[in-house]
């Protein structure tokens, strides 16, 4: 006699999860397709152009376009001609632009954010709008206005004339600021080891010339127009800070500067990283201000890699070199961003630093100090709340 065995139907595991996954792919597909079509494919095409001899006509993937390897990269980095010299000059100009604009706009944005975030300031909404307004104005309009202000007979030289200073011919002065300062003390030429050697076709003495007087126009304009945007980021960061640590510092008798330096600023590290990263990327990609204002003049002292890439491709029809400049600039931005991330990374408080800061280790392995303000500063820096201050940093 045989008995029939009834088997229960097996439940399909993960069916709901598979359905959710399919729905997720479906909803994200339009954005992914747009990124692939308008971002990934153009980047790959530009990468091919940088290693080919494409002349700008027809398809870069046609049979008559040849692979030339790193020839375009070598022409602008070790070719020894005008292409290398122009690329070195553009990097030097942009480097001084970054070194001045990024710190100035960050400090100014933080000061403005601290000002308009103060509870005792009346009309905070008006000041926020006023400080942010230049950031939403057309860059071309701001550039035209800024160069008009810095004309030899413009408002800037008129203000300098009131205090007895004869202003320079800003748009036409190609001299380096540091060289001008050295000339005031009688130094009008560099030593042989600086004038004899160089990098990328530019002597070390010219690398140390500083930004030109004409470049100061673009530097001041960048600080004026971008500080408002970063001010909003700092305001958002300030409004999300823990008030308990701030109040604890006030109870401990910390002054306003001590609270800002030891409590507020360490808690703003994520916002500071965002501001510095965006500022670094924006300053290395400056183009429209140069295109609308100076075209690289005077004497190529306002030439930037982004504008050089444009002129190499659209003016000189050197499309391979133009793409190579763009990818070298991309590599510079990525490398500096990673370096900046490493510098601003979260760090634990080491035992040596705790001892140097006046903390002593108790029998239970915990660290403590009689200085309550120091306790508050360490709490803010390590991101710990207002709980136990004697945690073992290990």
The tens digit of pLDDT for each residue in 238-279 reads: 888 877 777 777 777 777 787 888 888 888 888 999 999 999
Question: Which long-range contacts does 303-311 make (Cβ < 8 Å, 24+ apart)?
Answer: 303/86, 303/89, 303/90, 303/93, 304/90, 304/93, 304/94, 304/97, 305/87, 305/90, 305/91, 305/94, 305/329, 307/90, 308/86, 308/87, 308/90
The tens digit of pLDDT for each residue in 274-292 reads: 999 999 999 999 999 999 9
Q: What is the pLDDT of residue 385?
A: 43
The tens digit of pLDDT for each residue in 173-218 reads: 999 999 999 988 888 888 888 888 889 889 999 999 999 999 999 9
* Percent of the chain residues past pLDDT 90, beyond the cut: 48
Average the pLDDT over 301-324 and give the result. Answer: 93
Q: For the chain, how many helices (H) and strands (E)?
A: 20, 4
Using pLDDT thresholds of 50, 70 and 90, give the confidence band for residue 355: low
Average pLDDT, the chain: 83
**Which positions ≥6 away from 292 have C-beta within 8 Å?**
139, 140, 143, 144
Average the pLDDT over 105-117 and give the result. Answer: 91
Range with the largest mean pLDDT of 253-257, 328-332, 352-356: 328-332
Q: What is the pLDDT of residue 191?
A: 85
Q: At what angle do helices 82-116 and 269-284 cross, to 10 degrees?
A: 150
Using pLDDT thresholds of 50, 70 and 90, give the confidence band for residue 386: very low
């Amino acid at each position: 006699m045989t008995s029939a065995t009834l088997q229960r139907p097996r439940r399909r595991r993960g069916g709901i999860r598979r359905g959710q996954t399919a729905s997720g792919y479906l909803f994200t597909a339009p954005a992914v397709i747009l990124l692939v079509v308008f971002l990934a494919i153009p980047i790959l095409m530009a990468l091919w152009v940088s290693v080919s001899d494409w002349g700008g006509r027809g398809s870069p993937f046609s049979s008559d376009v040849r692979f030339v390897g790193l020839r375009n990269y070598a022409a602008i980095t070790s070719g020894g001609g005008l292409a290398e010299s122009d690329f070195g000059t553009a990097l030097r100009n942009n480097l001084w632009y970054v070194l001045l604009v990024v710190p100035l706009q960050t400090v100014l944005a933080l000061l403005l954010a601290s000002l308009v975030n103060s509870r005792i300031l009346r009309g905070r909404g008006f000041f926020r709008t006023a400080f942010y307004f230049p950031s939403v104005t057309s860059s071309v309009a701001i550039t035209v206005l800024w160069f008009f202000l810095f004309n030899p007979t413009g408002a800037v030289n008129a203000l300098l004339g009131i205090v007895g200073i004869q202003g320079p011919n800003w748009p036409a002065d190609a001299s380096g600021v540091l060289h001008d300062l050295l000339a005031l003390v009688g130094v009008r030429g560099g030593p042989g080891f600086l004038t004899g050697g160089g990098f990328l076709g530019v002597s070390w003495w010219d690398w140390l010339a500083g930004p030109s007087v004409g470049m100061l126009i673009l530097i001041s304009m960048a600080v004026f127009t971008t500080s408002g945007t970063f001010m909003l980021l700092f305001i958002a960061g300030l409004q999300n800070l823990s008030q308990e640590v701030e109040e604890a510092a006030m109870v401990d008798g910390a002054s306003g500067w001590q609270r800002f330096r030891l409590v507020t600023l360490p808690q703003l590290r994520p916002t500071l990283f965002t501001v510095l990263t965006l500022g670094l990327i924006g300053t290395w990609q400056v183009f429209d201000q140069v295109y609308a204002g100076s075209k690289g003049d005077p004497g190529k002292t306002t030439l930037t890699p982004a504008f050089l890439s444009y002129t190499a491709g659209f003016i000189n029809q050197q499309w391979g070199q133009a793409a190579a400049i763009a990818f070298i600039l991309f590599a510079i931005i990525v490398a500096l961003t990673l370096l900046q991330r490493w510098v601003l990374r979260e760090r634990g408080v080491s035992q040596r630093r705790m001892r140097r800061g006046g903390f002593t280790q108790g029998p239970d392995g915990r660290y403590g100090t009689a200085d309550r303000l120091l306790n508050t500063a360490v709490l803010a820096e390590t991101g710990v709340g207002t709980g136990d201050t004697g945690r073992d940093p290990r």
